[in-house]
Structure 1
């Protein structure tokens, strides 16, 4: 039945059949994360980074209602040009986008779902969603967290986006039994910065150690994902106070304009980019490349 909906690129299919390392990538970053043509350039750079580190990239999106695992260069270009016309697709949207044969850009949650359908275990992204500030009143909690509790995919990220309530995000993951690992760090990175003031569950020093942990978790039939946090490289990290002030300013404006739900993250990230005069976008690109590299290294170890 799945074949009706799922379309796996030939290179990706061959790699999966031969137990070769594959890394899933999301498409929201292409259509909603950056302007054209930077979005397309970045997507192709990220794929190259994965290949350079010995794995096969599988960018995931929905095109004309088909769940695509491994996009062609033309499909990436198409998504980049279409930009915001492509529907940002989370778990709840997925059946509608498929049934209506629309185009969808996959969030962390949806990329995990489709990666799991295809049999891909490792996924590299920028940052995961989480518990929004003020969630005790709004109940605004990203579907990414629930997906991590139920879907067997490891997500390599630069922590949760610093526009979120990081403490509550960690609490939510703990309640749902999702391990949060720090690659060569004990402190939870906060996307643009290496600091957050919060600790991860366990520090891991090598991709091999992480792969062995994933293997043990799933061999024990413990369902659900793992968050692997990978701090942005020191030289591209933004100043903690600068980014904190920019976020506070952006949050205040979002509150005044009544921006909520799925609109809030793109609005806040765009505001932060304006306030930091584009420096946050540059950091964003560097951290995604850094996560792609680690994702590939983990996938290589896992395939052994």
Structure 2
């Protein structure tokens, strides 16, 4: 996945810069606990095929803020923490290719901005979700025809903008695509630990409860990438936490899995070893870690 694709698209949209917030609040989530910087996952069952690559980095708030879109006439959320977690996901699910970038506030995991590029030929579309207090501003670009679809998304002429709002008491949400780093940063250490987080999905905020239902050890086959990107895929004996994610509504989905999701979390690396849930038509699916690159390598 290109490390600069979506930021360059935003620059091409002539989005003016925005300054960083001067205030910071105590962290609910500990983003510094993220002990990995990239991971790759796969799943296969009948017609369901998934390949996912996740990359993340920590940026100073002052460096990240100018990269965020400032919608005319709107005031987007600014980071309250000293850092912003920049998350990139490149997924291929059931023939659908999507690139997503998220900018998360390190103070509480709320999403500041989401950009997505869906590759569908003439039906491709590029979206920017810029979150603000009590809502989100959405900019969508599509190609007008097949010829335009061959050009960069910043040149697509079918442009629409809309604003969505939610109740004042809903809280500042995160986003389902941020599930992996949020689980890593959440205060989940032993059986019975839990946390409830709000997510923006299906044009509304949906609370989701995460709870550790089991802890123990297990053997899992994956690769730990070392210097130079080398490493062998082999079985590793790991201490794990089994976390149940229970949204208050079935509308919440993650990587094609809907409703309740079970995550086997590596206690030390804080990376999911398995993600289990139900996909439409095919039923129960397990997404497995293929490789992980620890932070600091």
Query: Relative contact order, CA 8 A, sep 6+: which one is greater?
Result: 1
The TM-score bracket by the shorter chain reads under 0.3
TM norm structure 2: 0.26
Q: TM-score, normalised by structure 1?
A: 0.25
